[in-house]
Structure formats: structure tokens, C-alpha cells
Amino acid sequence: MNKSAKPEQSVLSISVTQAGAGLAQQLPFAHHHGDLGDTVRSRWSKVDGLVLFCAVGIAVRVIGPLLDDKTQDPAVVVVDEASRFAVALCGGHRKGLGANDLAQQISELLDTTPVVSTATDSAGIVALDMLPGFTARGDISGLTRLMLDHQHVGLRNPLNWPLPQALNDQLSPSTDPYSKLEPEATQALVTISDQSLVENAGHVALHPPSLVVGIGASTNAPAGAAAEILQRVLAENNLAEESIAVIATIDRRALDPVVASLDMTIRSFTAAELNTVTVPNPSEVVQSEVGTDSVCEAAALLAAGPGATLIVEKTKGMTATVAIARRARPEGEVLVVGLGPGHAKHRTPQADAAIRHADVVIGYSFYVDQCTSLLSSHQEVIPSPIGAEVDRCRQAAEMAAAGQRVALVCSGDPGIFAMATLVLEVAPDYGHPPITVVPGVTASLAASSILGAPLAHDHALVSLSDLLTPWSLIERRLRALAEADMAVAFYNPRSQRRITQLQAAKDILLTKRPVSTPVGIVVNATRPEERVILTTLGQLDPAQVDMFSIVIVGSSTSSISNGRIVTPRGYDA
């Protein structure tokens, strides 16, 4: 069993000309130059993706003899040497890293046109094998053909599991009477189930992450003790291993080989937490040894969440016990995603993954537009106007509490003048759904890199917007910064209605800093419209600044050298 988080996907780019090498060096992947055929053959089974800078015909001749299993073969993208197209050649819907997504990523980084020919993507049909949160088994290609031909395909959801709206829209509720898919059941059908269903033509099972396995074990239980019982329990109860979401146990066993060797996500609880759960098979022996009368049953139910049912009671082995609970609904999550300053090359791989694998994407419409290439037809996308920040956060928390994986997107870093704090503030009103903050490159760092090194020493970040913070408080902070002689980056420096704050900040800093103090204004940092203005504190003209600008004022030690602002770190150069 191995359902733990996969390591970072490995991608190799291969070029054969200097033009191709120049393009490859703009991508965040390992690069090899020359010997395309030999390199592809030697690395084929060792990488998740290949980016080939060559003609499509050359690529086809090289990879053709190597193709074996579309679920295991690497994704292959071909880029022409004029950097016009990124062609998803094979592995478009490969799990983990698909060529379609890889082509989109490359196109953003190299400003090329992605060429994706996968039928479901072209027709806007849900790809059954690519639905986040599900593992598809069965006649995937057969049902996909029927969906592309607009033929009737039934949808059966005995678990009442929440589904992407696109799946509900494209399939019809089924009246299929079978509790299992028997050979004589001929209706084209998609079934949402955590059972191991018979794989027949025209049938697909989508296994959701609905099962939680509880493990109890003695102190010296060997590594395979729980795995052996679990495999037997799954077979006896006709349960799909693909539906196991998490392993749960007591905290003192979480790192023991008997649990860790299962190589799945582990959630552990204290004895006090386990004691809060009523179970059908309490044990006085377990109570005397670890301080709770149940480990495997209590841990399974606790990790499965509200409304869970115990579908496999405690099953004993020589040194381990196993129980299985079924979740009533998915475990939702809010991922507050920082998109960085604007360009895809400054967006982190973690941010890309969070958006691609979300059920719902929410954000200010301008920011949603920045990540359009990451979105797919199975997702619900909810853009909203500026000023609706509280509503966005509440909607995200509410949908996560209902079991959906929600990506709330914002620019820069979500923890710096952005949405992370607001999500955390409203979360208690919705039962504290899990929240993950996905960091991004904040505007001050993007602007600083363009200007040189103005923030190389102690510095401060200050928003000049007094919409949420009284100006009297901002003013007090500015006076303290002037006295402290630190470089400062001004966020929200000026808008059409707020035209006096930047001038006031300038006047305050001038009480303690010379008029020659370097100032950098960066408009639309890292975006195509990027513009840089180098000036001094005395010459700073607030009229040159807008809401797409960030203003960085150096300290008294800062200087301009060869067109770059430098704030010395203190080394003896």
C-alpha cells in the first residue's frame, strides 16, 4: 500500500539546438542538451514528464517504440524551436502530472500557444479519470466515447457523495436496481462507490476518499502486522483500497513501523481525544495500557468526522487491530492561494496544484482571470467584485464545511495585506474547516528584485489605505519608522479617491531622512505593463503612483548604483 503524498514531479527538458537550449533554460526543469533519442530512451522510466525541443515528427519516432502504459509512461510535450506552440503529445490525462497541464504551464512561461487535442478537453466533457478526489476504475474510454457522442450515461451515487456540478450536468441520475454491477447489468453507468465493483463494458466506478482506517497495535508490533489484517478486511467486505483517505491511530503509535509502513497519510489523536468517542467494542485491557478503552474504532470514527459510521468493527490480529469508518461527506478544506505578483513564472508549483485540484475556485474576478489556464470544466468558478472580501471568505469557509475543497485566490502572498487572516477569523463560524495558506511572492519582494536590493536590511511593509485602519494609527507608525531609519515598502499607496496619504507619508519621512534618500516606484511589477521610476524622497511625485504601484523608500544608508537601489547589509566589502 502506498497512498502517501508523492514527491515533487520530475520533469526533464531536452534540446538539440542552441535556440532550444535557450528556451529550455527559461523553464524550471532539469535540462539536457544533445543526444535527444538516447537521452529519452535512458530516462523514459525515470521521469514523470519530458519536454522536447524539436519537431513533432522527430518526437513521435523516438517515443513510439517506448509507449507501453498510459498511466505509467511519462507525459510528453513538444515545443517548436520558434517557441510558437507547446504540443501535448502523449499522457494528456496522466495522473499526477499530465501533458495537458504541462503544456499549459510551459505556454505561460514561454508565451507560446498550448496545443491540447484530448477529446474531453476539446469538447468540454468531464474527464472521468482526472476528477480531483476520485480514482476511476472500469471502462473509462468506452463511457468517454458515449459522452462525446452525447449518448445517455447514467449516474448512480448510493453514498450521496458531493459531486462536481459538471458531472451532474453531463450524466443522468440512474434507476439501476443493482447494488453491485453484475455482468448482466448493461446500462452505461458511472457509480460513486467505495466498494470494489465488477468491471464491465460500459461501467465506471469512481472511488471517493470515503474510508478511514483505524489502527491499534501493541508496542512491538512488526511492520506488516496491520497491513495483513487490512488487506483481509478489505477483501472480506468488498471495499476498495482506492477509497482509503487516511490512517488513524493513537499518537504514541503514529511513528511505529506497524503504522508508518502502510505509507499513507496518518492522523493521530491523544488518549483523551479518543476517550470522547463511544465505540461498540471497548476494552479494559487497552484502557489500562494506553488510557483509552478504544484505539482503532475510536480513531477511525474521530478522523472520519461528524456523521461517520463504523462499517467494519475491530478486527484482531496477533499484535494489531483494524477498524474502518465511512465518512458521511468529504473532508473539505480552504486553500488560501497566493498567485504572486502576476506572471505565471512567479507562481509556485504548490499554488498551481492547489488550484488545479480544487472543487471550487473563488476570488476577485481580476485574480481569477490570472489563473484561467489552471481551471477545468469540472470546477465551479466563482468570481466576485472588488470590495466583497468578507463575502468571499465566508462563502469559502461555508463550502469547505460542507465538504468541498475550495481554492480562494488572491494576489501576492495571502498572509500579507490579503485574505488569509480574514479566512481564519470567519472559520469559527463554520466549525473550523481545515485551512491551508499557500504562500506567494508578495509585491514588495517582486518590486525589490526589480529595483535591486532596497530591502536588504531591516525594513517594514506599510499599507497606506485607511479604509480599514485609522489614518491616525498609520501616521503614528510612519513617525516610528522615520525615527527607526528602516527602508519601507508602501502598499496601496494611492488611488483615485485616496490622493493625500502618500504625500503625507513622504512629509513624515522627510523629517528624519535626507531629500536624497532613494525611492523606487514599480508599476505592474512582473506584468507586461511593468514600469520603473527611480527618484529621491525629495523629488517623489505622488501623481506618478496608482493602485497598481508599490513604492519603496530606502533608509539613510541606501544609495543608487548603476541604476539599482542598494541598502547595505553591513558586510565589509
**Tens-place pLDDT, residues 435-448:** 999 999 999 999 99
Query: Rounded distance, CA 409 to CA 520, Å?
Result: 28
Sorting pLDDT into bands at 50, 70 and 90, what band is 74? very high
User: What average pLDDT score do residues 480-504 get?
Assistant: 95
Contact call for residues 315 and 214 (beta carbons, < 8 A)? no
- Tell me the residue type at 380: E
What does DSSP assign to residue 556? T
What was the pLDDT predicted at 5?
A: 39
Sorting pLDDT into bands at 50, 70 and 90, what band is 200? confident
What was the pLDDT predicted at 117?
A: 86
Say yes or no to pLDDT of 319 above 90: yes
What was the pLDDT predicted at 182?
A: 42
- Tell me the residue type at 332: G
Sorting pLDDT into bands at 50, 70 and 90, what band is 184? very low
User: What average pLDDT score do residues 335-340 get?
Assistant: 97
Inter-axis angle of helices 501-510 and 471-484, to 10 degrees?
Answer: 30
469 Cβ neighbours under 8 A, 6+ residues apart = 463
What was the pLDDT predicted at 174?
A: 59
Q: In order of start, what are the domains of the chain with their CATH numbers? A: 11-117 (3.40.50.11220), 128-207 (no CATH), 211-326 (3.30.420.180), 333-441 (3.40.1010.10), 445-566 (3.30.950.10)
* pLDDT > 70 fraction of the chain, expressed in percent and rounded: 96
Say yes or no to pLDDT of 1 above 60: no
Mean pLDDT in the chain? 91
pTM, 2 dp: 0.81
Lowest mean pLDDT among 177-186, 194-203, 221-230: 177-186
What was the pLDDT predicted at 91?
A: 86
Query: Rounded distance, CA 535 to CA 547, Å?
Result: 19
Lowest mean pLDDT among 34-48, 89-103, 252-266, 410-424: 89-103
Cell of 35: 543526444
Say yes or no to pLDDT of 501 above 70: yes
Among 105, 22, 16, 11, smallest CA distance to 51 is for: 11
User: What average pLDDT score do residues 137-148 get?
Assistant: 88
User: What average pLDDT score do residues 476-482 get?
Assistant: 97
- Tell me the residue type at 36: L
Among 531, 478, 535, 486, smallest CA distance to 509 is for: 478
Helix (H, G, I), strand (E, B) or coil at 189: strand
Answer with the residue of higher pLDDT: 3 or 170: 170
Say yes or no to pLDDT of 325 above 50: yes
Sheet (strand 30-33) strand order: 30-33, 11-15, 49-53, 75-79, 85-90, 113-115
For residue range 519-567, what is the model confidence (pLDDT) as tens digits?
999 999 988 899 999 999 999 999 999 989 999 999 999 999 999 999 9
CA 133 to chain centre: 13
Detail the DSSP E strand segments found in 395-517: 405-410, 435-438, 452-453, 459-463, 487-491
By CB atoms closer than 10 A (0-12, 13-18, 19+), residue 91 is buried
Inter-axis angle of helices 36-43 and 56-63, to 10 degrees?
Answer: 40
User: What average pLDDT score do residues 273-281 get?
Assistant: 96
Say yes or no to pLDDT of 270 above 90: yes
